[in-house]
A and B are shown apart, each in its own frame.
Chain A
Protein backbone atom coordinates (compact mmCIF):
# COMPACT_ATOMS: atom_id res chain seq x y z
CA UNK A 1 0.00 0.00 0.00
CA UNK A 2 1.28 3.47 -0.87
CA UNK A 3 1.85 5.12 2.48
CA UNK A 4 1.91 8.57 0.89
CA UNK A 5 -1.82 8.19 0.17
CA UNK A 6 -2.49 7.96 3.92
CA UNK A 7 -2.52 10.67 6.58
CA UNK A 8 -0.21 9.90 9.50
CA UNK A 9 -1.98 10.16 12.85
CA UNK A 10 0.85 8.58 14.82
CA UNK A 11 3.68 6.11 14.14
CA UNK A 12 1.11 3.31 14.44
CA UNK A 13 -2.09 4.89 13.18
CA UNK A 14 -2.75 5.90 9.58
CA UNK A 15 -5.87 7.54 8.22
CA UNK A 16 -7.43 6.66 4.89
CA UNK A 17 -8.97 10.03 3.99
CA UNK A 18 -12.64 10.22 3.04
CA UNK A 19 -13.35 10.09 -0.67
CA UNK A 20 -16.47 9.54 -2.73
CA UNK A 21 -19.29 7.88 -0.77
CA UNK A 22 -17.25 7.27 2.39
CA UNK A 23 -19.19 8.66 5.34
CA UNK A 24 -16.24 8.16 7.72
CA UNK A 25 -12.49 7.86 7.19
CA UNK A 26 -10.51 4.62 7.45
CA UNK A 27 -7.98 4.03 10.24
CA UNK A 28 -5.16 1.52 9.87
CA UNK A 29 -3.36 0.59 13.09
CA UNK A 30 0.06 -0.67 12.07
CA UNK A 31 3.72 0.14 11.61
CA UNK A 32 4.89 2.02 8.52
CA UNK A 33 6.62 -1.13 7.29
CA UNK A 34 3.59 -3.39 7.66
CA UNK A 35 1.36 -0.75 6.05
CA UNK A 36 3.71 -0.60 3.07
CA UNK A 37 3.60 -4.39 2.77
CA UNK A 38 -0.22 -4.44 2.75
CA UNK A 39 -2.07 -5.02 -0.50
CA UNK A 40 -3.71 -1.94 -2.07
CA UNK A 41 -6.90 -4.01 -1.87
CA UNK A 42 -6.90 -3.52 1.92
CA UNK A 43 -7.30 0.23 1.42
CA UNK A 44 -10.04 -0.39 -1.12
CA UNK A 45 -11.88 -2.72 1.25
CA UNK A 46 -11.45 -0.37 4.24
CA UNK A 47 -12.91 2.41 2.05
CA UNK A 48 -15.80 0.20 0.90
CA UNK A 49 -16.75 -0.55 4.52
CA UNK A 50 -16.59 3.21 5.26
CA UNK A 51 -19.46 3.68 2.80
CA UNK A 52 -21.90 1.37 4.59
CA UNK A 53 -24.92 3.01 6.24
CA UNK A 54 -24.65 3.90 9.92
CA UNK A 55 -20.93 3.23 10.34
CA UNK A 56 -19.59 5.09 13.37
CA UNK A 57 -16.32 7.05 13.59
CA UNK A 58 -14.16 5.05 11.18
CA UNK A 59 -13.64 1.84 9.24
CA UNK A 60 -10.74 0.12 11.02
CA UNK A 61 -7.94 -2.22 9.97
CA UNK A 62 -5.74 -4.15 12.38
CA UNK A 63 -1.92 -4.50 12.00
CA UNK A 64 -2.05 -7.75 9.99
CA UNK A 65 -4.88 -6.62 7.67
CA UNK A 66 -5.02 -8.41 4.35
CA UNK A 67 -7.34 -8.83 1.43
CA UNK A 68 -10.57 -10.56 2.48
CA UNK A 69 -14.19 -10.84 1.38
CA UNK A 70 -16.13 -7.62 1.83
CA UNK A 71 -14.26 -6.46 4.94
CA UNK A 72 -10.50 -7.01 4.88
CA UNK A 73 -9.26 -9.79 7.15
CA UNK A 74 -8.40 -7.77 10.24
CA UNK A 75 -11.25 -5.35 9.50
CA UNK A 76 -13.41 -3.85 12.26
CA UNK A 77 -16.51 -1.69 11.91
CA UNK A 78 -19.09 -0.49 14.44
CA UNK A 79 -22.60 0.42 13.35
CA UNK A 80 -25.38 2.48 14.89
CA UNK A 81 -27.97 0.30 16.63
CA UNK A 82 -30.84 2.08 14.85
CA UNK A 83 -29.53 3.42 11.55
CA UNK A 84 -26.77 0.90 10.95
CA UNK A 85 -26.52 -2.43 9.14
CA UNK A 86 -25.43 -5.95 9.96
CA UNK A 87 -23.10 -7.17 7.26
CA UNK A 88 -22.29 -10.75 6.37
CA UNK A 89 -19.00 -9.58 4.88
CA UNK A 90 -18.01 -8.28 8.31
CA UNK A 91 -18.28 -11.75 9.82
CA UNK A 92 -17.48 -14.20 7.04
CA UNK A 93 -18.08 -17.89 6.51
CA UNK A 94 -16.33 -19.23 9.59
CA UNK A 95 -18.56 -17.66 12.21
CA UNK A 96 -16.90 -17.27 15.61
CA UNK A 97 -13.75 -19.03 14.54
CA UNK A 98 -11.50 -18.47 17.52
CA UNK A 99 -8.77 -19.57 19.88
CA UNK A 100 -8.98 -21.18 23.28
CA UNK A 101 -5.83 -21.42 25.34
CA UNK A 102 -5.65 -23.93 28.17
CA UNK A 103 -3.24 -23.65 31.08
CA UNK A 104 -1.78 -26.91 32.35
CA UNK A 105 0.03 -27.86 35.54
CA UNK A 106 2.78 -29.38 33.38
CA UNK A 107 6.18 -27.81 32.85
CA UNK A 108 8.32 -28.02 29.74
CA UNK A 109 10.65 -30.54 31.43
CA UNK A 110 7.73 -32.89 32.14
CA UNK A 111 7.55 -33.48 28.38
CA UNK A 112 11.13 -34.73 28.10
CA UNK A 113 12.02 -38.18 26.78
CA UNK A 114 9.17 -39.68 24.83
CA UNK A 115 6.47 -37.91 26.82
CA UNK A 116 5.95 -35.17 24.24
CA UNK A 117 5.58 -37.80 21.55
CA UNK A 118 3.07 -39.69 23.68
CA UNK A 119 1.09 -36.51 24.27
CA UNK A 120 1.13 -35.57 20.56
CA UNK A 121 -0.05 -39.09 19.65
CA UNK A 122 -2.81 -39.00 22.26
CA UNK A 123 -4.05 -35.62 21.00
CA UNK A 124 -3.90 -36.80 17.38
CA UNK A 125 -5.85 -39.91 18.36
CA UNK A 126 -8.53 -38.13 20.39
CA UNK A 127 -9.12 -34.90 18.46
CA UNK A 128 -11.06 -35.44 15.22
CA UNK A 129 -9.40 -33.26 12.59
CA UNK A 130 -9.22 -32.84 8.85
CA UNK A 131 -11.59 -32.67 5.94
CA UNK A 132 -14.57 -34.99 6.32
CA UNK A 133 -13.75 -35.84 9.93
CA UNK A 134 -16.64 -36.52 12.26
CA UNK A 135 -16.82 -36.45 16.03
CA UNK A 136 -18.16 -39.04 18.42
CA UNK A 137 -21.17 -36.86 19.14
CA UNK A 138 -24.15 -37.66 16.92
CA UNK A 139 -27.00 -35.17 17.12
CA UNK A 140 -30.51 -34.90 15.76
CA UNK A 141 -32.42 -31.77 14.84
CA UNK A 142 -33.76 -31.14 18.34
CA UNK A 143 -30.33 -31.59 19.89
CA UNK A 144 -28.67 -29.28 17.36
CA UNK A 145 -31.15 -26.57 18.35
CA UNK A 146 -30.07 -27.08 21.97
CA UNK A 147 -26.43 -26.53 20.91
CA UNK A 148 -27.36 -23.36 19.02
CA UNK A 149 -29.15 -21.97 22.06
CA UNK A 150 -26.83 -23.27 24.76
CA UNK A 151 -23.30 -22.89 23.36
CA UNK A 152 -20.55 -24.05 25.72
CA UNK A 153 -23.10 -24.25 28.55
CA UNK A 154 -24.83 -27.04 26.58
CA UNK A 155 -21.52 -28.88 26.30
CA UNK A 156 -20.78 -28.60 30.04
CA UNK A 157 -24.31 -29.77 30.89
CA UNK A 158 -23.68 -32.83 28.71
CA UNK A 159 -20.49 -33.60 30.60
CA UNK A 160 -17.93 -31.97 28.29
CA UNK A 161 -15.83 -29.84 30.59
CA UNK A 162 -16.44 -27.96 33.80
CA UNK A 163 -18.43 -24.96 34.99
CA UNK A 164 -15.12 -23.30 35.82
CA UNK A 165 -14.29 -23.34 32.07
CA UNK A 166 -17.34 -21.22 31.35
CA UNK A 167 -16.10 -18.31 33.49
CA UNK A 168 -13.27 -17.85 31.00
CA UNK A 169 -15.20 -18.09 27.74
CA UNK A 170 -16.54 -14.93 26.09
CA UNK A 171 -20.21 -14.41 26.95
CA UNK A 172 -19.63 -16.94 29.75
CA UNK A 173 -20.11 -19.66 27.18
CA UNK A 174 -23.40 -18.64 25.62
CA UNK A 175 -24.44 -15.60 23.61
CA UNK A 176 -27.98 -14.23 23.89
CA UNK A 177 -30.07 -13.58 20.82
CA UNK A 178 -29.58 -16.88 19.00
CA UNK A 179 -32.62 -18.18 17.14
CA UNK A 180 -32.27 -21.68 15.66
CA UNK A 181 -35.39 -21.14 13.54
CA UNK A 182 -33.37 -18.65 11.48
CA UNK A 183 -30.81 -21.34 10.62
CA UNK A 184 -31.52 -23.51 7.57
CA UNK A 185 -32.07 -27.26 7.72
CA UNK A 186 -29.02 -27.76 5.52
CA UNK A 187 -26.85 -25.90 8.02
CA UNK A 188 -28.17 -27.97 10.92
CA UNK A 189 -27.89 -31.30 9.12
CA UNK A 190 -24.30 -30.57 8.10
CA UNK A 191 -23.47 -30.17 11.79
CA UNK A 192 -25.02 -33.45 13.03
CA UNK A 193 -21.60 -35.10 13.29
CA UNK A 194 -19.27 -32.12 13.40
CA UNK A 195 -19.59 -30.88 17.00
CA UNK A 196 -16.20 -31.58 18.61
CA UNK A 197 -14.11 -31.50 15.43
CA UNK A 198 -11.13 -29.29 14.63
CA UNK A 199 -11.44 -28.83 10.86
CA UNK A 200 -8.56 -28.21 8.46
CA UNK A 201 -6.72 -25.32 6.77
CA UNK A 202 -5.32 -22.89 9.31
CA UNK A 203 -7.09 -24.58 12.22
CA UNK A 204 -4.81 -26.29 14.69
CA UNK A 205 -4.21 -27.62 18.14
CA UNK A 206 -0.84 -26.78 19.60
CA UNK A 207 1.09 -27.82 22.69
CA UNK A 208 3.16 -24.79 23.69
CA UNK A 209 5.41 -23.64 26.52
CA UNK A 210 5.78 -20.17 27.97
CA UNK A 211 9.20 -19.08 26.74
CA UNK A 212 9.17 -15.44 27.88
CA UNK A 213 7.20 -13.51 30.42
CA UNK A 214 6.92 -10.02 29.01
CA UNK A 215 4.85 -8.50 31.81
CA UNK A 216 5.16 -9.98 35.31
CA UNK A 217 1.99 -8.45 36.73
CA UNK A 218 -0.13 -9.57 33.79
CA UNK A 219 1.37 -13.06 33.84
CA UNK A 220 0.51 -13.35 37.55
CA UNK A 221 -3.09 -12.37 36.91
CA UNK A 222 -3.34 -14.88 34.06
CA UNK A 223 -1.52 -17.49 36.25
CA UNK A 224 1.27 -18.00 33.72
CA UNK A 225 4.88 -18.77 34.53
CA UNK A 226 8.02 -19.42 32.52
CA UNK A 227 8.27 -22.92 31.01
CA UNK A 228 4.67 -23.74 31.85
CA UNK A 229 2.93 -25.88 29.23
CA UNK A 230 -0.22 -24.44 27.64
CA UNK A 231 -2.39 -25.88 24.89
CA UNK A 232 -4.13 -23.73 22.28
CA UNK A 233 -6.81 -24.74 19.85
CA UNK A 234 -8.01 -22.75 16.86
CA UNK A 235 -11.31 -23.64 15.22
CA UNK A 236 -14.82 -22.36 14.63
CA UNK A 237 -18.45 -23.22 13.97
CA UNK A 238 -17.60 -25.82 11.33
CA UNK A 239 -20.05 -26.59 8.54
CA UNK A 240 -23.00 -24.97 10.31
CA UNK A 241 -21.26 -21.60 10.29
CA UNK A 242 -20.17 -22.02 6.67
CA UNK A 243 -23.73 -22.77 5.60
CA UNK A 244 -25.21 -19.83 7.56
CA UNK A 245 -22.70 -17.58 5.78
CA UNK A 246 -23.60 -19.05 2.39
CA UNK A 247 -27.36 -18.83 3.00
CA UNK A 248 -27.28 -15.25 4.18
CA UNK A 249 -24.82 -14.02 1.56
CA UNK A 250 -27.63 -14.73 -0.89
CA UNK A 251 -30.45 -13.54 1.40
CA UNK A 252 -28.75 -10.29 2.38
CA UNK A 253 -27.83 -9.74 -1.27
CA UNK A 254 -31.55 -9.51 -1.95
CA UNK A 255 -32.02 -7.23 1.07
CA UNK A 256 -29.47 -4.83 -0.38
CA UNK A 257 -31.72 -4.41 -3.42
CA UNK A 258 -34.91 -4.23 -1.35
CA UNK A 259 -33.60 -1.46 0.91
CA UNK A 260 -31.70 0.24 -1.87
CA UNK A 261 -28.36 0.08 -0.07
CA UNK A 262 -25.42 1.14 -2.15
CA UNK A 263 -22.60 -1.39 -1.69
CA UNK A 264 -19.35 -1.34 -3.63
CA UNK A 265 -18.72 -5.06 -3.29
CA UNK A 266 -21.19 -7.94 -3.47
CA UNK A 267 -19.50 -9.55 -0.48
CA UNK A 268 -20.71 -6.60 1.64
CA UNK A 269 -24.25 -8.01 1.53
CA UNK A 270 -26.05 -6.45 4.49
CA UNK A 271 -29.41 -5.33 5.86
CA UNK A 272 -30.57 -2.60 8.24
CA UNK A 273 -30.25 -3.79 11.86
CA UNK A 274 -33.95 -3.15 12.42
CA UNK A 275 -35.15 -4.94 9.25
CA UNK A 276 -36.57 -8.47 9.20
CA UNK A 277 -33.55 -9.66 7.19
CA UNK A 278 -31.05 -7.96 9.50
CA UNK A 279 -32.72 -9.37 12.62
CA UNK A 280 -32.77 -12.86 11.06
CA UNK A 281 -29.11 -12.79 10.10
CA UNK A 282 -28.06 -11.53 13.53
CA UNK A 283 -30.07 -14.31 15.23
CA UNK A 284 -28.65 -16.99 12.90
CA UNK A 285 -25.12 -15.64 13.31
CA UNK A 286 -25.50 -15.77 17.11
CA UNK A 287 -26.59 -19.41 16.75
CA UNK A 288 -23.33 -19.93 14.82
CA UNK A 289 -21.41 -18.27 17.68
CA UNK A 290 -22.97 -20.70 20.18
CA UNK A 291 -22.10 -23.61 17.91
CA UNK A 292 -18.44 -22.51 17.86
CA UNK A 293 -18.38 -22.05 21.65
CA UNK A 294 -19.86 -25.55 22.10
CA UNK A 295 -17.32 -26.96 19.64
CA UNK A 296 -14.31 -25.51 21.46
CA UNK A 297 -15.78 -26.65 24.79
CA UNK A 298 -16.11 -30.26 23.59
CA UNK A 299 -12.57 -30.10 22.18
CA UNK A 300 -11.35 -28.83 25.57
CA UNK A 301 -12.86 -31.93 27.16
CA UNK A 302 -11.14 -34.15 24.60
CA UNK A 303 -7.81 -32.40 25.18
CA UNK A 304 -8.20 -32.97 28.92
CA UNK A 305 -8.80 -36.66 28.34
CA UNK A 306 -5.75 -36.93 26.07
CA UNK A 307 -3.52 -35.10 28.58
CA UNK A 308 -4.76 -37.26 31.46
CA UNK A 309 -4.10 -40.43 29.45
CA UNK A 310 -0.41 -39.50 29.49
CA UNK A 311 -0.12 -37.50 32.72
CA UNK A 312 -2.60 -38.88 35.24
CA UNK A 313 -2.34 -36.01 37.71
CA UNK A 314 -2.11 -33.10 35.29
CA UNK A 315 -4.75 -30.37 35.49
CA UNK A 316 -5.99 -28.45 32.46
CA UNK A 317 -7.80 -25.14 32.97
CA UNK A 318 -9.22 -22.65 30.51
CA UNK A 319 -7.15 -19.45 30.36
CA UNK A 320 -9.52 -17.81 27.88
CA UNK A 321 -11.59 -18.38 24.76
CA UNK A 322 -11.87 -15.66 22.11
CA UNK A 323 -13.80 -15.43 18.86
CA UNK A 324 -12.56 -13.83 15.64
CA UNK A 325 -15.39 -13.60 13.12
CA UNK A 326 -18.34 -12.00 14.86
CA UNK A 327 -20.80 -9.14 15.03
CA UNK A 328 -21.64 -8.28 18.63
CA UNK A 329 -23.97 -5.76 20.21
CA UNK A 330 -21.73 -3.86 22.62
CA UNK A 331 -21.72 -0.59 24.53
CA UNK A 332 -18.99 1.93 23.77
CA UNK A 333 -18.42 5.63 24.31
CA UNK A 334 -19.24 7.73 21.26
CA UNK A 335 -18.63 11.46 21.71
CA UNK A 336 -18.80 10.98 25.47
CA UNK A 337 -22.11 9.12 25.36
CA UNK A 338 -22.57 5.42 26.18
CA UNK A 339 -23.92 3.96 22.93
CA UNK A 340 -25.03 0.54 21.75
CA UNK A 341 -23.20 -0.53 18.61
CA UNK A 342 -23.08 -3.55 16.34
CA UNK A 343 -19.34 -4.22 16.29
CA UNK A 344 -18.14 -6.38 13.40
CA UNK A 345 -14.76 -8.04 13.80
CA UNK A 346 -13.63 -9.94 10.74
CA UNK A 347 -10.40 -11.86 11.28
CA UNK A 348 -9.97 -9.67 14.33
CA UNK A 349 -10.42 -10.39 18.00
CA UNK A 350 -11.99 -8.58 20.89
CA UNK A 351 -9.39 -6.95 23.10
CA UNK A 352 -11.40 -5.26 25.84
CA UNK A 353 -9.49 -3.31 28.45
CA UNK A 354 -9.63 -3.20 32.26
CA UNK A 355 -12.94 -2.74 34.01
CA UNK A 356 -15.20 -3.80 31.14
CA UNK A 357 -18.25 -5.77 32.22
CA UNK A 358 -17.53 -8.51 29.67
CA UNK A 359 -14.10 -9.29 31.18
CA UNK A 360 -14.03 -12.15 33.74
CA UNK A 361 -13.72 -11.00 37.36
CA UNK A 362 -10.23 -12.51 37.76
CA UNK A 363 -8.90 -10.48 34.81
CA UNK A 364 -10.89 -7.28 35.34
CA UNK A 365 -7.95 -5.24 36.66
CA UNK A 366 -5.79 -5.75 33.57
CA UNK A 367 -8.24 -6.49 30.74
CA UNK A 368 -9.12 -9.63 28.83
CA UNK A 369 -6.51 -12.05 27.48
CA UNK A 370 -5.84 -11.50 23.78
CA UNK A 371 -4.54 -14.64 22.09
CA UNK A 372 -2.61 -14.07 18.87
CA UNK A 373 -1.56 -17.22 17.07
CA UNK A 374 1.64 -17.52 15.07
CA UNK A 375 2.70 -20.52 13.03
CA UNK A 376 3.69 -24.04 14.03
CA UNK A 377 7.34 -23.10 13.64
CA UNK A 378 7.54 -19.72 15.30
CA UNK A 379 5.64 -18.52 18.36
CA UNK A 380 2.34 -17.15 19.58
CA UNK A 381 1.55 -14.35 22.03
CA UNK A 382 -0.72 -13.76 24.97
CA UNK A 383 -1.56 -10.09 25.45
CA UNK A 384 -4.13 -8.14 27.44
CA UNK A 385 -6.70 -5.61 26.27
CA UNK A 386 -6.11 -1.92 27.01
CA UNK A 387 -8.16 1.13 27.85
CA UNK A 388 -6.70 2.95 24.84
CA UNK A 389 -7.59 0.10 22.45
CA UNK A 390 -11.10 -0.02 23.85
CA UNK A 391 -11.43 3.70 23.15
CA UNK A 392 -9.90 3.92 19.69
CA UNK A 393 -10.64 0.49 18.19
CA UNK A 394 -13.80 -0.64 20.01
CA UNK A 395 -11.55 -3.00 21.98
CA UNK A 396 -10.12 -4.95 19.04
CA UNK A 397 -6.81 -6.43 17.93
CA UNK A 398 -5.57 -8.68 15.15
CA UNK A 399 -6.08 -12.43 15.33
CA UNK A 400 -2.89 -13.77 13.77
CA UNK A 401 -0.07 -12.97 11.46
CA UNK A 402 -1.69 -13.36 8.04
CA UNK A 403 -0.16 -15.10 5.04
CA UNK A 404 2.65 -13.67 2.94
CA UNK A 405 2.58 -16.48 0.38
CA UNK A 406 -0.35 -18.06 -1.48
CA UNK A 407 -1.21 -21.71 -0.83
CA UNK A 408 -0.23 -22.65 -4.38
CA UNK A 409 3.13 -20.91 -4.01
CA UNK A 410 3.68 -22.61 -0.65
CA UNK A 411 2.97 -26.09 -2.06
CA UNK A 412 5.39 -25.39 -4.94
CA UNK A 413 8.06 -24.25 -2.51
CA UNK A 414 7.66 -26.73 0.36
CA UNK A 415 7.05 -30.45 0.75
CA UNK A 416 4.87 -31.52 3.67
CA UNK A 417 7.41 -34.19 4.69
CA UNK A 418 10.29 -31.70 4.62
CA UNK A 419 8.39 -29.22 6.76
CA UNK A 420 7.69 -31.98 9.32
CA UNK A 421 11.35 -33.09 9.29
CA UNK A 422 12.72 -29.57 9.64
CA UNK A 423 10.42 -28.86 12.57
CA UNK A 424 11.34 -32.19 14.18
CA UNK A 425 14.98 -31.09 14.11
CA UNK A 426 13.86 -28.17 16.23
CA UNK A 427 11.97 -30.57 18.55
CA UNK A 428 8.55 -29.52 17.27
CA UNK A 429 6.37 -32.54 16.53
CA UNK A 430 3.71 -32.40 13.82
CA UNK A 431 0.77 -34.77 13.57
CA UNK A 432 -1.32 -34.11 10.46
CA UNK A 433 -3.95 -35.75 8.30
CA UNK A 434 -2.93 -33.96 5.09
CA UNK A 435 0.69 -33.59 3.90
CA UNK A 436 -0.40 -30.99 1.38
CA UNK A 437 -2.08 -29.06 4.17
CA UNK A 438 1.24 -29.00 6.04
CA UNK A 439 3.05 -27.56 3.02
CA UNK A 440 0.36 -24.87 2.65
CA UNK A 441 0.65 -23.99 6.33
CA UNK A 442 4.47 -23.99 6.37
CA UNK A 443 5.81 -21.38 8.83
CA UNK A 444 7.52 -19.43 6.04
CA UNK A 445 4.19 -18.94 4.27
CA UNK A 446 3.15 -16.52 7.02
CA UNK A 447 4.19 -13.02 8.03
CA UNK A 448 6.43 -12.60 11.03
CA UNK A 449 4.05 -12.75 13.99
CA UNK A 450 6.49 -10.88 16.25
CA UNK A 451 6.51 -7.90 13.90
CA UNK A 452 2.69 -7.93 13.85
CA UNK A 453 2.37 -8.28 17.64
CA UNK A 454 4.93 -5.49 18.18
CA UNK A 455 2.70 -3.26 16.06
CA UNK A 456 -0.36 -4.27 18.14
CA UNK A 457 1.54 -3.45 21.33
CA UNK A 458 3.02 -0.17 20.10
CA UNK A 459 -0.29 0.95 18.60
CA UNK A 460 -1.72 0.44 22.10
CA UNK A 461 -4.42 -2.00 20.99
CA UNK A 462 -3.21 -4.66 23.43
CA UNK A 463 -0.20 -5.15 25.70
CA UNK A 464 2.22 -8.10 25.52
CA UNK A 465 2.13 -10.48 28.49
CA UNK A 466 3.83 -13.69 27.37
CA UNK A 467 5.43 -15.39 24.40
CA UNK A 468 4.71 -19.09 23.90
CA UNK A 469 6.54 -21.49 21.59
CA UNK A 470 5.22 -24.63 19.92
CA UNK A 471 6.26 -28.11 21.02
CA UNK A 472 3.71 -30.18 19.11
CA UNK A 473 1.00 -29.34 16.61
CA UNK A 474 -2.03 -31.32 15.43
CA UNK A 475 -3.37 -30.26 12.02
CA UNK A 476 -6.30 -31.32 9.90
Chain B
Protein backbone atom coordinates (compact mmCIF):
# COMPACT_ATOMS: atom_id res chain seq x y z
CA UNK B 1 0.00 0.00 0.00
CA UNK B 2 1.25 3.46 -0.92
CA UNK B 3 0.24 6.70 0.75
CA UNK B 4 -3.07 7.70 2.25
CA UNK B 5 -6.35 5.88 1.64
CA UNK B 6 -9.62 7.81 1.56
CA UNK B 7 -13.05 6.28 2.01
CA UNK B 8 -16.63 7.36 2.63
CA UNK B 9 -19.11 5.56 4.81
CA UNK B 10 -22.88 5.54 5.12
CA UNK B 11 -25.00 7.85 7.21
CA UNK B 12 -28.76 8.40 6.79
CA UNK B 13 -28.75 12.20 6.49
CA UNK B 14 -25.10 13.10 5.95
CA UNK B 15 -21.82 11.48 4.90
CA UNK B 16 -18.98 9.73 6.72
CA UNK B 17 -15.36 10.53 5.78
CA UNK B 18 -12.52 8.17 6.65
CA UNK B 19 -8.76 8.24 6.15
CA UNK B 20 -6.30 5.37 6.56
CA UNK B 21 -2.54 5.25 6.42
CA UNK B 22 0.69 3.73 7.65
CA UNK B 23 1.26 6.91 9.59
CA UNK B 24 -1.16 9.07 11.56
CA UNK B 25 -0.41 11.89 9.13
CA UNK B 26 -1.36 9.74 6.14
CA UNK B 27 -4.66 8.87 7.79
CA UNK B 28 -5.37 12.58 8.33
CA UNK B 29 -4.48 13.34 4.70
CA UNK B 30 -6.75 10.49 3.53
CA UNK B 31 -9.62 11.92 5.60
CA UNK B 32 -9.10 15.40 4.12
CA UNK B 33 -9.13 13.99 0.57
CA UNK B 34 -12.28 12.06 1.39
CA UNK B 35 -14.03 15.26 2.53
CA UNK B 36 -12.87 17.27 -0.49
CA UNK B 37 -14.11 14.43 -2.71
CA UNK B 38 -17.57 14.87 -1.19
CA UNK B 39 -17.49 18.52 -2.24
CA UNK B 40 -15.83 18.40 -5.67
CA UNK B 41 -14.77 16.08 -8.47
CA UNK B 42 -11.03 16.08 -7.71
CA UNK B 43 -9.78 14.47 -10.92
CA UNK B 44 -7.69 16.98 -12.84
CA UNK B 45 -7.44 19.51 -10.00
CA UNK B 46 -3.81 20.65 -9.97
CA UNK B 47 -1.75 21.37 -6.87
CA UNK B 48 -0.80 24.87 -8.04
CA UNK B 49 -0.59 26.75 -4.78
CA UNK B 50 -0.89 26.02 -1.10
CA UNK B 51 -2.35 27.51 2.05
CA UNK B 52 -1.13 26.78 5.58
CA UNK B 53 -3.44 24.84 7.86
CA UNK B 54 -2.70 24.84 11.58
CA UNK B 55 -4.73 23.57 14.47
CA UNK B 56 -4.53 22.14 17.97
CA UNK B 57 -6.62 19.80 20.12
CA UNK B 58 -6.47 17.77 23.30
CA UNK B 59 -6.65 14.41 21.55
CA UNK B 60 -5.99 13.02 18.07
CA UNK B 61 -9.64 12.38 17.26
CA UNK B 62 -10.57 15.99 18.06
CA UNK B 63 -7.51 17.11 16.09
CA UNK B 64 -8.96 15.40 13.02
CA UNK B 65 -12.22 17.38 13.36
CA UNK B 66 -10.20 20.59 13.80
CA UNK B 67 -8.08 19.77 10.74
CA UNK B 68 -11.14 19.23 8.56
CA UNK B 69 -12.86 22.35 9.84
CA UNK B 70 -9.76 24.49 9.23
CA UNK B 71 -9.60 23.11 5.68
CA UNK B 72 -13.27 24.02 5.10
CA UNK B 73 -12.67 27.53 6.40
CA UNK B 74 -9.56 28.10 4.26
CA UNK B 75 -11.30 26.69 1.19
CA UNK B 76 -14.02 29.27 1.58
CA UNK B 77 -11.69 32.16 2.39
CA UNK B 78 -9.37 31.41 -0.54
CA UNK B 79 -12.18 30.17 -2.87
CA UNK B 80 -10.10 27.13 -3.80
CA UNK B 81 -10.45 23.45 -4.60
CA UNK B 82 -7.86 21.36 -2.75
CA UNK B 83 -6.49 18.14 -4.17
CA UNK B 84 -3.38 17.49 -2.10
CA UNK B 85 -2.60 17.75 1.60
CA UNK B 86 0.44 17.59 3.87
CA UNK B 87 0.30 17.19 7.62
CA UNK B 88 2.81 17.04 10.43
CA UNK B 89 1.57 16.18 13.90
CA UNK B 90 3.47 16.78 17.12
CA UNK B 91 2.70 16.92 20.82
CA UNK B 92 1.08 14.49 23.19
CA UNK B 93 -2.22 13.84 24.94
CA UNK B 94 -3.63 17.11 26.18
CA UNK B 95 -1.89 19.19 23.51
CA UNK B 96 -1.58 17.96 19.93
CA UNK B 97 -0.46 20.35 17.21
CA UNK B 98 -0.96 19.90 13.49
CA UNK B 99 0.95 21.96 10.96
CA UNK B 100 0.02 21.29 7.39
CA UNK B 101 -0.67 22.55 3.93
CA UNK B 102 -3.60 22.26 1.52
CA UNK B 103 -2.71 22.40 -2.17
CA UNK B 104 -5.02 23.14 -5.04
CA UNK B 105 -6.20 25.81 -7.44
CA UNK B 106 -8.67 28.69 -7.46
CA UNK B 107 -12.27 27.52 -7.90
CA UNK B 108 -13.39 27.97 -11.49
CA UNK B 109 -17.05 27.03 -12.13
CA UNK B 110 -16.29 26.49 -15.83
CA UNK B 111 -13.76 23.73 -15.09
CA UNK B 112 -14.50 22.36 -11.63
CA UNK B 113 -17.43 20.08 -10.86
CA UNK B 114 -19.06 20.94 -7.51
CA UNK B 115 -20.96 18.22 -5.70
CA UNK B 116 -22.27 19.16 -2.28
CA UNK B 117 -21.32 21.74 0.30
CA UNK B 118 -19.95 20.43 3.59
CA UNK B 119 -21.07 22.66 6.45
CA UNK B 120 -18.79 21.22 9.11
CA UNK B 121 -16.93 18.18 10.40
CA UNK B 122 -18.62 16.80 13.51
CA UNK B 123 -17.82 14.62 16.53
CA UNK B 124 -20.46 12.16 15.38
CA UNK B 125 -18.98 8.67 14.81
CA UNK B 126 -15.58 10.24 15.42
CA UNK B 127 -12.95 7.53 15.85
CA UNK B 128 -9.19 7.26 15.82
CA UNK B 129 -7.62 3.82 16.12
CA UNK B 130 -5.05 1.41 14.78
CA UNK B 131 -6.69 -1.26 12.66
CA UNK B 132 -6.07 -4.83 13.72
CA UNK B 133 -4.50 -6.96 11.04
CA UNK B 134 -3.39 -4.21 8.69
CA UNK B 135 -1.78 -2.09 11.41
CA UNK B 136 -3.06 1.00 9.61
CA UNK B 137 -4.10 4.13 11.45
CA UNK B 138 -7.76 4.96 10.86
CA UNK B 139 -9.50 8.25 11.51
CA UNK B 140 -13.13 9.06 10.69
CA UNK B 141 -16.13 11.27 11.41
CA UNK B 142 -19.44 12.41 9.91
CA UNK B 143 -19.51 15.65 7.97
CA UNK B 144 -22.69 17.73 8.01
CA UNK B 145 -23.90 18.50 4.48
Contact = CB atoms under 8 A, between A and B. Distances in A.
Contact of B77 (A92, A186, A199): A186
B15 A407 contact: yes
Given A39-B12, A190-B73, A406-B11, A267 B116 contact: no
A34 to B, nearest CB: 15
B131 interface: no
B123 A201 contact: no
A132 B122 contact: no
A250 B122 CA distance: 11
Contact of B117 (A69, A199, A253, A402): A199
State the main secondary structure of chain B at its contact with A.
loop
A440 B116 contact: yes
Contacts of A131: 39-40, 114-117
A93 B11 contact: no
Given A434-B114, A434-B115, A440-B116, A68 B69 contact: no
Interface stretch (A46-54, A237-245, A370-378): A237-245
A339 B24 CA distance: 51
B48 interface: no
A433 interface: yes
B73 A434 contact: no
A289 B19 CA distance: 34
B120 A132 contact: no
A190 B77 contact: yes
Given A201-B145, A246-B69, A433-B114, A407 B14 contact: yes
Interface in B123-145: 123-124, 126, 142, 144-145
Contacts of B39: 131
Interface residues of A, number: 43
Interface in B29-86: 39-40, 62, 66, 69, 72-73, 76-77, 79
Interface string A393-412: 00000000011111111000
Contacts of B12: 39, 66-67, 403-406
B10 interface: yes
A388 B121 CA distance: 38
Contact of A201 (B107, B112, B116): B116
A268 to B, nearest CB: 10
B70 to A, nearest CB: 9
9 contacts: A94-B119, A131-B39, A131-B114, A189-B77, A200-B116, A246-B69, A265-B123, A405-B12, A436-B116
